[in-house]
Each structure stands twice: as structure tokens, then as C-alpha cells.
Structure 1
């Protein structure tokens, strides 16, 4: 009787909480803690800066490669099943790593253990991420006109995990590597159990091509090309990511050498950016209700471009911190627009492959930004940031000018 009189939006929100938001929260926190905690673990275990850098590469290179395989696997097996199995596999790998580090806290066995953990958790995390994103997009389609609210909540979950995960991993590492890995194991196991409540992302899993990753990425690329609104937005955000990636890669040099602050101040910049993004996502959720996708996205694009140009000319650390936070907050608003748009436009049977291709395109500027940082002298970093900001402004202006009359952003 009480269920019959419960308002429909309340039932909808409760269902999303159990089936989408809670699994995503556990997985996102495990994602953030492993991404930032494993390199810290390598440094604490091996005391080697070179191995720490290698571990970071071992985390990200397999992740980029995994995107090509994850999409077809999710389409063939279903998002809920892949989410469950990937989270469970990560829990088992972390539990084994924790046991080995307790038995061998130092030496060759410990070094080999943490390096294998870096690669293994990187691959499994990307499978769980693609599956969780696919399930979230399906929830957005079922939400209809409230799709942007679903995407805003999911993005808020990710940003909260990004804000809390590194700090929590660092604190737990003070108690010992096995304790930190044990907590991530529990979170991964919780995500695997909660994933059993996740509804199917489509009516039935599709039959994926036997060509695997190449066929999945080709399908995703063709889908992006067939959807001009999505293609223009991805192009603009890719150029924007070049500026953001360069700020991330050059941040330690700028903060430590140019402004004369400690390495802790570098982390404070991105913690402030994550907090600003959380606020931005919440505000954009209500702004889209009133104004629509295009006005909010265009306003965020303008703010992001101006903030990046201002960051290049920042006279002191505080101004630099504020401009980076404003930039990332505006980027968060555009990400809500992107997630909402792709959940509306991409066919369900091609969503995972298209998502994989989209993420690969959006991540390509980051290694380029790293190379730019390596070949640029510290005195010239501000000039390179200005050039990247100009490219960002041009790309975002062209994208949103092209999308101004597109019905996909006017619905």
C-alpha cells in the first residue's frame, strides 16, 4: 500500500541508488585509491623513483590498451556481468598482493608484487569503468528528460572519489602496505556484490565481432563519425584536454620551481580543482533544467578558455590555484553535457565500443602533454600554456558554434 502512494520520482531515485549509484561509488573509490595508491606503494616498498615512474606507466599503458577490448566484451557479455567479474578479479588480485607483502615486506618478491599489481589493477579497473559507464548511460536513457541529472550524479561520484581516494590511500599507507591493499580489496569486493543489482544495459548482449579490439574501436569510430553533434563535442574537448594535460604535467615544475612552493602545494591545486568541480556539477544539473544543454555547455566552454589563459599569466600561486580550479569546474560542466549527449545519441548496442573510442580520443592529448613538458624549458612553460589555451579556445568555439542549432543539444 505504501509503495502505491510513493511518488514516481522517489521510486526512480531509490532504484538508481541501489542499482547504479552505490556500485559506482564503491568502484570509483577503489579506482581512485588504486590509481594514486599503487605508485605510492611502489615508492614505499622499493624506495626507487625510477620504479615508481615505471609503475605509473604500467598502470596507464595497459589501461589504454584495455579500452579497445573492454567495449566489445561489455557488448558481448553485458555491463552488469563484466562489472561484477572485473571488480571481483581486482579484489582477488589485491588480496593476493596484500598476503604476499605481509609475508615479504621487502626484497625482490615485494618489488615484483607491486609491479604486477600496477599492471593487473590497471587493466581490470578499465573493464569495470567501461561497464559502469555503460550501465550509467542505460540508466540515463531510462530517465528520459532527467538524463542529465543521472549523469551529474555519476560525475559527482567520480569527483568525490578523486578528491577522497588519494588522501585515504596515503593515510592507510602509513599503517602499512597490506592494510591499504586490504581496504581497496574490501571496496572492490563490495562493488562486485553491488554490481549484481545492476540492471542490463540493453535488452540482450549483442554478438561482438571475432576481430576483438580493432573491430570494437572501428565500430566506435564509425559511430562517432555518424553523429556530428558527438563528433564536434569530442573534438573540442580533446583540444581542451591538451591544455589540461599540460597543466597537470607541468604543474609540479610551475608550483615548485616558478612559485617556490613545496610538492604538497601541487596536490592542493588538484584537490581544490576536484572540490570546485563537485560544486560545478551540482550547479550545472539545475542550470540544464532551466536553460538546456547548449547554453550551459557554451558558457562552461567560455569560462574554461578564459581561466586557462589566465592561469598562463598567473602572477602568484594563489591566483594559479584559483584559475586551475575554475578551469576544472568549467570542464566538469562540459563533461555533464558530453555524458548526457552520448547517452541520448549512441545506440545501446554500440555504446560500449563508442565509449571506448571516445575515451581513447580524449586521453590521447595527455601523453602529448607529457612530451611537451619534457622538451620545454621551465622558463617557457607559460608560453606553451598560452598556446594550448588558444587552441582550447579555438576548438571549443568551433564546436559549440557548430552545435548551436543542433537539435541534439536543444532537446
Structure 2
């Protein structure tokens, strides 16, 4: 399990976290422009949505290991090329704007393949599926803990070239670590995979559909905060890029602790009580963030928010592994992730379009929607008997 699932996931998670947080931070540090930072965030996330229209079917047809390896190698090539262009004297903002959509697409392909492998491991674990998912989510949170902070430090002390070189090295190592597996050639998978199969499966699972719907609304608030935070910390509060990275690293630590607690709480009280508690924690923290005005407040409140999000993600991943049939798992997984990530490019465009002083009211509106969406979802889930307890 460690060699086949956890180790490749760990290295790819580090590369993914550095990609997600490093590229917008790189733009802010080199241009000091909120508009360009928001645009880079959107350019990075829009192709990620496109990736799920093809990656799920590719994984169902050809296997998770092959897709994972090719995606990591492609990201290595893209980042290495970008690093060489910056060394040759091309402007960093221009290079990053081109790099963002490429790395966004490839990162989501590798993530979907890794999630499919984790889903298979969860199904083999049976009633202990939430324990496997908590380990996988813990790996992701450790990567998020290290990634933003490392990005800030590399950028502050070594510049863009060192940041890009480290990202390329992590991507190459992830490709080398994934074990070789035989290609999937099942005719049933070939006929039944794809976006259509994902939609049909999601519609047939009302518990999963309601939870995904609530988390879409919640992710709108999280995406807006993630897109706006480099602008708020660097431009509005006058802090360094390392300080901006530290916020999300502290949030990842809080989320990691919450994931560990959620695993034990689900053993004792069940899936839905833990999910409802996490929803209250997340929505309450976002409402408080809308009123924050100091770096310390942002640091503490975003940590609380991501602790709640960590508990919600354990619930979602456990439910997916229980309910989605294995023959269409990647296709349905790709659809759910596509829906959950849709708010991210919209958030980047919003940050690019509105002035920095308008970010506070936008966060307040998103926080109210988040609270309403999560309350509605969990109120409906209490009446559905098909979900695991």
C-alpha cells in the first residue's frame, strides 16, 4: 500500500501544491498586480476543468498508473521549458501566463489518476474505507502544508528559477515512483465510461449528489479566498510572499489535525454527524474572515476554515468509495471533481475584475451562500437512508 499508493501520491501532492499556490504567488511577487494574479489563477484552473472531460475516460480505459506517469512527465517538460525561458531572459509574467494552463491541465490528470488508485484501495478496505481516505487526505494536507511555505521561501531566497526547478524535480520523481500496472482493456469499461456514465451514476445516487451540491457552494467561498489571499497579504497588508505562503501552510496543518480527529469521530458517531459539525465550523469561519483586517486574523481564521473543509472532504471521499461502482469510478469521480472545481476559475476572474477594496464584500456574500448551501445539503441528507451511517 505504501509503495503503490501512498508514496507516489505524496510526491505528486507536493508538486500539485507548489503548482497551485506557487504560480499566482510568482505573478504577485514579480508584478505586484492584483489583476494579473487573478488572471493567472483563472488560467491555471480553467484547463483543469477541461482535463476532467478526458481524464476520467482515459483512466477507465488505460489504467490509473499510465495516465499518472504521462501527466507527471508532461508537467516536468512544461516546467523545465518555462525555467529555461526565464533563464534566457524572457519575462517571468509572460512565461507564467503560458505555463499556468499547461500545468493546471496536467496536474488534474495526475490527481484524478491518483484518486482512482485511492478509491480502489478504499474499496478493498471495506468498512475501514474512511481510514484509507483519511490517510490519503492527510498526505494531501501535508503537501499543502509544505507546498505554499516552500514556494514562498524559494521565491524569496532563490527567485523564479529555483521555484520552477524544484517543481520540475518533484514532477519527475513522482513519475518515477508510480509502479507499472497492466493496461485496462475491459470492453465493459470502454463502453460504459465517460461523462455520460458519470452523470447517470451521480443522478442515481441522491446522497452523493446532495453532498456534492453543498460542497460546490462551499468551494465558491474557499476559491475566492484562495484567489484573493496573495493580493490581500502582499498588496493590502504589505507582507512578504513567504507570509502569504505561511497562511495556507498553517491552514493545511489545521486541516491535517481535523482529518485525524474526523477519522476517529466517524468510528464513534458516524459519517453524517461529523460532516454536519465540519460544515458548521467551515461556514462560521468564512463569515468571520469577511470581517478580518489583520494578518493574524486571516492566519487563524483560514486555519479554522480549512479544518472544517478537511472534515467535509473525509465525508465526501468515504461516500464516493462506498457508493460509486468500480467500473465507472473514474468517470464519476472526474465529474464530481469537475463540479467541485468549477468555482475556482470564476473566483480568479472575479479577483481580476474587482478592485482590492471590493474583495471584503465579495467574501461576505460568498460566506452567506456557503452557510446556506451546507445547511440545505445536510438537512436533506438526514432524510436519505441510502448513505452509510
**After TM superposition, is the score higher than 0.5?**
yes
Could you tell me which residue of structure 1 aligns to residue 311 of structure 2? 333
- Distance in 1, matches of 2:231 and 2:170, equals 34
Q: In the alignment, what sits opposite 1:262?
A: 239
Question: 1:272: how far off?
Answer: 2.2
What whole-Å deviation, never above 9, does each CA across 1:187-246 have from its counterpart, x for those lacking one?
22222222115798x895854369xxxx82232222211110000001111111122223
Go from structure 1 to structure 2 and tell me whether the alpha carbon gap of 1:302 and 1:366 turns closer, same or farther (over 3 Å shift).
Answer: same
Distance 2:291 2:93 in 1: 42
How far is the alpha carbon of 1:313 from its aligned partner? 3.5
Aligned 1:6-405 pairs, distance under 5 A? 16-39=1-24, 55-98=40-83, 100-101=84-85, 104-107=87-90, 115-173=97-155, 174-175=157-158, 177-196=160-179, 204=186, 207-208=189-190, 216-251=194-229, 260=237, 262=239, 264=241, 265-314=243-292, 316-370=294-348, 372-373=350-351, 381-405=359-383
Count of matched residue positions in the alignment of Structure 1 and Structure 2? 386
User: Is this contact kept in 1: 2:149–2:249, CA < 8 A?
Assistant: no
Gaps of 5+ in 1: 1-15
Whether the 8 Å contact between 1:149 and 1:285 is mirrored in structure 2 is: yes
Asked whether the equivalents of residues 149 and 245 of structure 2 are also in contact (C-alpha less than 8 Å), the reply is no
Q: Which is higher, the Rg of structure 1 or of structure 2?
A: 1
Change (3 A) 1:184 1:383: closer
Distance between the aligned counterparts of 1:141 and 1:203, measured in 2?
Answer: 21
Do 1:42 and 1:111's aligned partners in 2 also have CA atoms closer than 8 Å? yes
Conserved? CA contact 1:73–1:208, under 8 Å: no
Normalized against structure 2, the TM-score is what?
A: 0.85
Cα 1:261–1:395 shift into 2, 3 Å? same
Structure 1 CA distance for aligned equivalents of residues 209 and 202 of structure 2: 5
The SS at the match of 2:89 is coil
TM-score by length of 1: 0.81
Distance 1:351 1:332, change over 3 A: same
* RMSD, matched Cα: 3.3
Q: Deviations over 1:247-268 (max 9, x none)?
A: 334445655787x453555444
Shift of 1:318: 3.1
Which 10-residue stretch deviates more, 340-349 or 379-388?
379-388
CA distance in 2, matches of 1:308, 1:180: 31
SS at match of 1:208: helix
Q: Give the 3 Å change call, closer, same or farther, for CA 380–26 of structure 1 in structure 2.
A: closer
Question: Within 2, Cα distance between the matches of 1:373 and 1:286?
Answer: 38
Following the alignment from structure 2 to structure 1, what is the Cα–Cα distance between the partners of residues 315 and 9? 19
| Separation (CA, whole Å) in 2 of partners of 1:112 and 1:318 | 33
For structure 2, the residue ranges without an aligned partner over 5 or more in a row are: none
Q: Which has the higher contact order (CA 8 A, sep 6+)?
A: 2
